[in-house]
Amino acid sequence: MRVRTRCCRRRARRRCRVQARGLKATASVAVASPLTATERAEFDAALKSARTVRDGMPAGVARDELSGVIANAATLDASGQLTSSRLAATLMTVRRNKQFWPLNPAPAVGTRVVFTGSPVYLEYYRSEGLQIQPLANFGKANAAWGACKADGNATCSKLRDLLDAMLELASQRGTFSTWEYYFDFEGGVPPWTSGMSQATGLQALSRAYNSRATCAIATLRRAPARPSRQRRRSGSPCPRPAARTSSSCTPTRRSCSSSTACCRR
């Protein structure tokens, strides 16, 4: 990594040299391990299956949305940034979109979808498909904590289940764990992260631990450091929460009670 020092005056040269050494040290941090052979096979199979489903769909918005999700995953892989820690979130995104788009029209932008068997929110972004939304999920976790606290529910299974699911989706970013976004957003290039979502996640994890809704201190030890201390790049935007109403929508062809997905606006 080439380090440029801007017109250091004599009295500031020492400080500039220290900053340059710090930048070099940051650039030398080891990246996460690449995919294993088993992980590679699983990813390739998931992408192939999604492409097969996409190719069998008629032309239209739904097909385009699934194509966008496939392109994001393929680009992440081609860039060498699809590491083992990012695989779980990438696979969930590809599989959920493959499941959703053949059966449903495009919902309103900002609609959050929950699939049977998982408490994790995926939010709809135009041309990006359904995407895991860490900020929304940790907001949901804090709401669950508040409800459990009001009811005197010490176990709070809803909170525990959601945080367990989110911990499985955490990725390794440099020297700390984080929750990343895997789609383009206002100039941000995936994978990017948000200080707001990290702070909300830490709040939810701390509350869960203090209320004994989590089973081990390892939960907090796995919690992320604060990326907000790092220099902000164009690839690290903060998403604005989408406007929502209290109404609900039912996926096409199925009712929410028996569907694989339920929508919320």
Report how far residue 36's alpha carbon sits from residue 222's, in angstroms, rounded to the nearest whole number.
22
**pTM for this entry:** 0.69
115 plus 194 within the same structural domain: no
Name the residue among 248, 215, 232 with its Cα closest to residue 111: 248
Is 11 part of a structural domain of the chain? Answer: no
Over its C-alpha atoms, the chain yields an Rg (Å, rounded) of 21
Contact predicate 129/71, CB 8 Å: no
Is 83 part of a structural domain of the chain? Answer: yes
* Domain span including residue 204: 134-238
154 plus 121 within the same structural domain: no
How far is the CA of 243 from the CAs of 108, 140, 191, in angstroms?
A: 10, 15, 24
Is 2 part of a structural domain of the chain? Answer: no
Sign of CA dihedral 190, 196, 200, 203: positive
How far is the CA of 250 from the CAs of 65, 99, 105, 231, 259, in angstroms?
A: 19, 15, 11, 43, 9
Is 69 part of a structural domain of the chain? Answer: yes
70 plus 99 within the same structural domain: yes
150 plus 165 within the same structural domain: yes
Residue-wise pLDDT tens for the chain (265 aa)?
Answer: 444 434 334 334 433 433 443 333 333 344 444 899 999 999 999 999 999 999 999 999 999 999 999 999 999 999 999 999 999 999 999 999 999 999 999 999 999 999 999 999 999 999 999 999 998 889 898 888 889 888 888 778 888 898 999 999 999 888 888 889 898 887 778 788 888 888 887 888 888 877 655 443 344 444 444 454 444 343 433 344 343 333 333 333 333 333 445 555 4
233 plus 143 within the same structural domain: yes
Name the token pair of 174: 């440099």
Is 94 part of a structural domain of the chain? Answer: yes
Report how far residue 232's alpha carbon sits from residue 226's, in angstroms, rounded to the nearest whole number.
12
98 plus 184 within the same structural domain: no
261 plus 226 within the same structural domain: no
Question: Structurally, how many domains does the chain consist of?
Answer: 2
Is 142 part of a structural domain of the chain? Answer: yes
147 plus 186 within the same structural domain: yes
What torsion, rounded to 10 degrees, do the Cα atoms 45, 51, 53, 59 define?
Answer: 170
> pLDDT at position 181, please?
87
Is 87 part of a structural domain of the chain? Answer: yes
74 plus 155 within the same structural domain: no
225 plus 250 within the same structural domain: no
202 plus 182 within the same structural domain: yes
Report how far residue 178's alpha carbon sits from residue 188's, in angstroms, rounded to the nearest whole number.
16
54 plus 180 within the same structural domain: no
